[in-house]
Amino acid sequence: MTDSKNTASGLKSHLSIGEIAARAGLAITAIRFYEEQGLVRPQRNAGGQRRFNRAELRRLSFIKISQQLGFSLAEIKEALASLPNERTPTKADWQRLSTQFAKDIDSRINGLQKLRDNLSGCIGCGCLSMKRCVLYNNNDAASSLGTGPRYLMGDSSEDLAI
């Protein structure tokens, strides 16, 4: 592969690791780590230096934002695996990916709203330490639904086998 060439728009078609790091707002070490994890795939020039196709900026931006939203690298990698490696993802490719992530984000928002609304009340944790637990989780009935804060995790008292 040759070094970066200018495209018709005057932009370089391939960027060095330093250039892509600066453009993406990431540390060079982060980009190397993402490469090790198979999240980005740079090419190498004749001198063995990494050269990133400009399309990798979208992948890096997606990784950065997804991590800020609380998605794990495993979840991000799984999502990116649905994108084509041999060509620049199209608008339709990104739309498909974003639709699934939007569903996950909506679910997280709902969970956070439940947490916010129930912080001062019972969340079905089985603690029995609050006076209200007798009303909402009498005799730790929520434990029959499984471990953890059952009501916060989406169960309700209506799910209890009585």
> Domain with 70 in it: what CATH number?
1.10.1660.10
149 and 99, same domain (yes or no): no
38 and 10, same domain (yes or no): yes
Under 8 Å CB-to-CB from 62, ≥6 apart: which residues? 76, 79, 80, 97
Is the pLDDT at 17 greater than 90, yes or no?
A: yes
pLDDT band at 22 (very low <50, low <70, confident <90, very high): very high
Q: What is the mean pLDDT of residues 82-98?
A: 79
Helix and strand totals (H; E) in the chain: 6, 3
Is the pLDDT at 45 greater than 50, yes or no?
A: yes
- Token duo for residue 104: 């996950």
Give the count of beta carbons closer than 10 Å to the beta carbon of residue 93.
15
**What pTM was estimated for this model as a whole?**
0.65
**What percent of the chain has a predicted confidence (pLDDT) above 90?**
25
1 and 71, same domain (yes or no): yes
88 and 151, same domain (yes or no): no
111 and 43, same domain (yes or no): yes
Q: Determine the Cα–Cα distance for residues 117 and 152; give it in Å rounded to an integer.
A: 10
User: Which of these, 56, 1, 6, 4, lies nearest to 31 by C-alpha position?
Assistant: 56
CA atoms within 13 A on the CB side of 98: 12
Q: What pLDDT score does 126 carry?
A: 60
34 and 113, same domain (yes or no): yes
94 and 143, same domain (yes or no): no
Range of the domain at 99: 1-117
17 and 92, same domain (yes or no): yes
Structural domain count, the chain: 2
111 and 125, same domain (yes or no): no
Q: What pLDDT score does 106 carry?
A: 93
Q: Which of 117, 137, 152 is the last residue of a domain?
A: 117
Q: Which residue has the higher pLDDT, 155 or 31?
A: 31
- Token duo for residue 89: 């993802």
Q: Determine the Cα–Cα distance for residues 126 and 59; give it in Å rounded to an integer.
A: 43
Q: Determine the Cα–Cα distance for residues 6 and 14; give it in Å rounded to an integer.
A: 9
100 and 147, same domain (yes or no): no
162 and 133, same domain (yes or no): yes
Q: Determine the Cα–Cα distance for residues 89 and 55; give it in Å rounded to an integer.
A: 8
pLDDT band at 2 (very low <50, low <70, confident <90, very high): very low
Instruction: Map residue 51 onto helix, strand or coil.
Output: strand
Q: Determine the Cα–Cα distance for residues 102 and 45; give it in Å rounded to an integer.
A: 37
